[in-house]
Structure 1
């Protein structure tokens, strides 16, 4: 079995949001839907892109890209009543079967990572009258939950996720966490890192180098 995961170097992330845009275009996401967001990390509750801390010696500022964490112990999978949310046994990727989804949004309530899932209340709407991105990206449907798929349509063909391929700062790394010789395994073995909400026991597959 492969366990796909991602490592993000927060020292290299410049907050350009290209990863978010690459994801949106590649997956032909509907208007106002984002599977990938870049949040400001300033140690407090300051607004987006504002510095936190105390001037002049204790200023804090950085970026944290956030999407589905593709957890080893996903809370969303446990609560889905129809098996529409599941962890792929071959890749470790947490996936969503749109045809099974009944729109109960239990997965959204159970997920501790706010904002990584979206719900289509209506038929998807687009600013352009033609699809963007990959022809293999799954079609969007009304009354279903959506989220990052680690670009499953790409990675299942041996390609990298779109967010990593277009990262300007080369802050993203992708690979098999179960392979000690993979880039991602070597990076988390040699650098300090953090994971989001580790205390929730979800065992996220996204690591943030600090």
Structure 2
């Protein structure tokens, strides 16, 4: 049975651990977002409530018409050990819709851009030329992919066709454990804003300074600094 540290190395494919990346709290990024004001949509994932059912993965594929092997979101799963007892780590992964997205900077056509009205990073398939520069620039491996149907880059955009109408993203609506929380973090009365204040969540690879807008409750500092990849074979699969 893998202990937690060995498990992280396996998941990341030998990627960097906590000792080699500086730790940056998500609190600073949240403070910067709130200082700007305006509507700012984000997602919070409570790892304590994720049961690994993958209803989110299925509903995302159905909602957005993606092939079974092309995911806008996935749940990373592995067997690990804590205090001598085995447990399962369920870690939902998706595009982080960063506040400082590296993908936007490298897009030669402006197809990838950050929406001013809500902070979501989107890809305009009518402008995307499939150069894949954004995929190469993104530090979060495999959350972007080339859609086999369109030949253009695809990724999670928080289901803008739903959220623009006041609906929840498909993954949030179908989460059986209620682990995914979505909303405006600048609305202090929203559930996501209240939980962020209460739980002080972390983000993945904060040392990359992209300031992700996907936050995690129950993430350890070591996990936060681990370069997870959806391309790497999972140690355990439901």
The alignment's TM-score, normalised by the length of structure 2, stands at 0.73
Shift of 1:172: 1.0
Shift of 1:33: 1.0
Out of 168, 175, 186, the position equivalent to 1:178 is 186
The structure that is helix-richer by fraction is 2
The 2-side partners of 1:164 and 1:157 are apart by 15
Out of 151, 156, 162, the position equivalent to 2:164 is 156
The 2-side partners of 1:187 and 1:61 are apart by 24
3-state SS of paired residue (2:79): coil
Shift of 1:59: 4.8
Q: Please state if 1:117 is matched with 2:150.
A: no
Aligned match of 2:54 = 17
Q: Please state if 1:51 is matched with 2:88.
A: no
Q: Please state if 1:187 is matched with 2:201.
A: no
3-state SS of paired residue (1:76): helix
Aligned match of 1:63 = 90
Shift of 1:61: 3.4
Q: Please state if 1:103 is matched with 2:149.
A: no
The 1-side partners of 2:68 and 2:92 are apart by 20
Deviations 1:175-207 (A, max 9, x none): 101122211111011014210111101111111
Structure 1: 5+ residue stretches without partners: 41-48, 125-140
Root mean square deviation of aligned Cα? 1.5
Shift of 1:57: 2.3
Q: Which runs of 4+ in 1 moved over 2 A?
A: 49-53, 56-61
Aligned match of 2:76 = 39
Aligned match of 1:200 = 208
The 1-side partners of 2:174 and 2:85 are apart by 33
The alignment's TM-score, normalised by the length of structure 1, stands at 0.82
Shift of 1:161: 0.4
Contact 2:204 2:212 (8 Å CA) reproduced? yes
3-state SS of paired residue (1:51): strand
Aligned match of 1:133 = none
CA gap 1:192/1:61 in 2 versus in 1, 3 angstroms: farther
